Amino acid sequence: MIDARLWSSVPHRNPTALLDFYGQFALWHEALAATIVRATGTTIRVYPLGDGGGRAWRQSVQQQHANAAAALGLAPPPDLVDYSMDKADDHASFFWVLSQDATRLALAAGLV
């Protein structure tokens, strides 16, 4: 399983890197959901995260992480929605926060 901390370095305005990330991210969430079911008996919805981009996608990511956190008895995730992805600083902040929260979920679920 990929170490989610690697996602903190997704480069800004690099379509190939983003496409690669979206695919990894969707597959990672499938694995996380399966691990949560085995660990807790709780089934969580897996949102279609492989297409990426936009505020609606970030809202789905927020909900996906909130559902996983709730199933694991954890606090909800930090804000994953309100970023201006056309700005390099916001892009970097989003991917750093996302990687840290995904790592938190993976550790709690026993995915790593």
Task: Kindly state the average pLDDT of the residues 10-18.
Answer: 97
DSSP state, residue 75: P
Band the pLDDT of 52: cuts 50, 70, 90: confident
pLDDT at 112: 85
Band the pLDDT of 1: cuts 50, 70, 90: confident
User: How high is the mean pLDDT of the chain?
Assistant: 97
The rounded radius of gyration (Å) of the Cα atoms in the chain is: 13
- The amino acid that residue 65 corresponds to is H
How do the domains of the chain map onto residue ranges?
12-109
Q: Can you read off the two tokens belonging to residue 13?
A: 């305005």
Band the pLDDT of 53: cuts 50, 70, 90: confident
Secondary structure of 77-100 as H, E, C letters = CCCCCCCCCCCHHHHHHHHHHHHH
